[in-house]
């Protein structure tokens, strides 16, 4: 079949114009000016606030599901509770790359995520007669409330609990704990809700000499990077390192749901979220600033984040078993995460100190 020469030339010219336009858009996007304030605004809203909003929603779903389970204690409703626990847990672990602000100063972190579980005192609560009022639960010691006592109630110590094994007292405790968890995460989100006057996010976005938390933007960036460093250190030396070095599965963080490996990956993903500026939507992150001045460092950080996540994925046994059955893979994960932490500490933090001057 013959092709009309004019038509062919027209198509070629159109292709060249479109290609040129795409390249131009690409160049404009790449060279767009990203300010320090852009990065602060994006991380505070697109990462921190968005994560806490999702956490608040997840814990509300868990509380509602626990009410449904108590009124109709079927295996299906129990599994729905477990699914909502895992969803809330995933979001919480992705927030641990920014354990600063109210989550730390208001002691929300220990009140919802203290581990390991204190079995003696937990069983005393289950076998006791005190009413699980809002005030009573809120005043319980940290190890008796939050994610892990809820996990223990939902799965049992061996992870095989069935719906008919719940006592009336355990059901009351479950509802009270999930309600308290939702209350605390709602309070946390409120501090990052820009529509609430004088909330913490306002001070985070607007550092000044009169700001009670941050004198300048450099202090905000230091807080952001130190949050990333902190979770890497906690995962490598604490969450993975302590059970591994001591060969003690009782030190595992989320053993009843066998969720520990997912926890660890989400912790490193929280570092990735902050660095990239991406959570539920794309945004500006630290990478946009680093790329502007040091492309090599940007590539190094991204590669080490990916290596850390891959090293965790390579641990295929449940973590409590893997510390004995897969020591090489566990040690590789510790080494990779420590390597990431060292880069953030020795290269990204000095980068911030050098280039954030306002």
Does position 9 have pLDDT exceeding 50, yes or no?
Answer: no
**CB contact set of 261 (below 8 Å; sequence gap of 6+):** 312, 315, 318, 319, 322
- Please check whether residue 54 lies inside any domain of the structure: yes
3-state class (DSSP) for residue 176: helix
Please state, for a pLDDT cut of 90, what percent of the chain lies above it: 87
Q: How many domains does the chain have?
A: 1
- Residue 14's pLDDT is 45
- Please check whether residue 274 lies inside any domain of the structure: yes
User: What's the pLDDT band for 119 if we cut at 50, 70, 90?
Assistant: confident
For residue 320, give the nearest of 231, 270, 251, 274 by alpha carbon.
251
Residue 342 host element (H or E):
helix 327-343
- Please check whether residue 19 lies inside any domain of the structure: no
- Please check whether residue 213 lies inside any domain of the structure: yes
Q: What is the mean pLDDT of residues 115-121?
A: 89
Total-model pTM:
0.90
Does position 284 have pLDDT exceeding 60, yes or no?
Answer: yes
Q: What is the mean pLDDT of residues 261-265?
A: 98
- Please check whether residue 104 lies inside any domain of the structure: yes
CATH code of the domain containing 218:
1.20.1420.20
Which residues constitute the domain of residue 56?
A: 36-355
Kindly report, residue by residue over 12-30, the tens digit of the pLDDT. Answer: 344 444 444 444 344 334 4
- Please check whether residue 9 lies inside any domain of the structure: no
- Residue 28's pLDDT is 37
CA distance 272 to 94: 9
Q: What is the mean pLDDT of residues 78-83?
A: 98
Q: What is the mean pLDDT of residues 222-236?
A: 98
- Residue 358's pLDDT is 87
For residue 45, give the nearest of 236, 283, 297, 237 by alpha carbon.
283
Please state, for a pLDDT cut of 70, what percent of the chain lies above it: 91
| Whether 228 contacts 90, CB under 8 Å | no
Does position 11 have pLDDT exceeding 80, yes or no?
Answer: no
Kindly report, residue by residue over 142-158, the tens digit of the pLDDT. Answer: 999 999 999 999 999 99
Does position 89 have pLDDT exceeding 70, yes or no?
Answer: yes
- Residue 202's pLDDT is 97
Nearest-Å Rg of the Cα atoms of the chain is 24
Does position 193 have pLDDT exceeding 70, yes or no?
Answer: yes
Does position 231 have pLDDT exceeding 90, yes or no?
Answer: yes
- Please check whether residue 178 lies inside any domain of the structure: yes
- Residue 31's pLDDT is 46
Q: What is the mean pLDDT of residues 187-200?
A: 96
Mean predicted lDDT score pLDDT of the chain: 92
Q: What is the mean pLDDT of residues 191-208?
A: 96
First to last CA, the chain: 67
Does position 218 have pLDDT exceeding 50, yes or no?
Answer: yes
- Please check whether residue 22 lies inside any domain of the structure: no
Q: What is the mean pLDDT of residues 244-268?
A: 96
């Amino acid at each position: 079949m013959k092709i009309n020469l004019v038509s062919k030339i027209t198509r070629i010219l159109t292709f060249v114009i479109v290609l040129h336009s795409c390249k131009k858009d690409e160049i404009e996007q790449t060279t767009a000016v990203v300010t320090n304030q852009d990065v602060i605004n994006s991380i505070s809203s697109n990462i921190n606030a968005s994560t806490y909003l999702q956490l608040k929603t997840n814990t509300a779903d868990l509380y509602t599901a626990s009410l449904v389970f108590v009124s109709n204690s079927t295996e299906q409703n129990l599994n729905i509770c477990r699914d909502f626990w895992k969803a809330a847990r995933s979001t919480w672990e992705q927030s641990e790359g920014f354990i600063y602000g109210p989550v730390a100063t208001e002691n929300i972190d220990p009140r919802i995520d203290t581990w390991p579980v204190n079995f003696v005192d937990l069983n005393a609560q289950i076998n006791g007669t005190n009413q699980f009022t809002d005030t009573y639960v809120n005043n319980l010691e940290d190890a008796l409330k939050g994610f892990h006592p809820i996990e223990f109630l939902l799965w049992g110590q061996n992870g095989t609990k069935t719906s008919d094994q719940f006592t009336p007292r355990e059901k009351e405790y479950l509802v009270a704990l999930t309600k308290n968890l939702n209350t605390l995460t709602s309070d946390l989100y409120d501090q990052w809700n820009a529509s609430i006057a004088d909330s913490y996010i306002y001070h985070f976005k607007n550092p000044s000499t009169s700001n009670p938390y941050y004198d300048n933007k450099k202090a905000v960036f230091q807080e952001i990077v130190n949050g990333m460093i902190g979770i890497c250190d906690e995962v490598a030396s604490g969450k993975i390192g302590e059970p591994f070095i001591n060969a003690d599965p009782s030190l595992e963080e989320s053993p009843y749901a066998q969720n520990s490996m997912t926890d660890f990956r989400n912790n490193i993903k929280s570092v990735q979220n902050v660095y990239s500026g991406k959570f539920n939507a794309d945004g500006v992150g630290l990478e946009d600033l680093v790329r502007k001045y040091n492309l090599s460092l940007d590539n190094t950080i991204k590669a080490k984040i990916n290596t850390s996540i891959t090293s965790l994925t390579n641990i295929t046994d449940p973590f409590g078993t893997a510390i004995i059955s897969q020591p090489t893979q566990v040690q590789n994960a510790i080494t990779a995460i420590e390597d990431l932490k060292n880069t953030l500490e020795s290269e990204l933090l000095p980068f911030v100190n050098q280039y954030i001057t306002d």
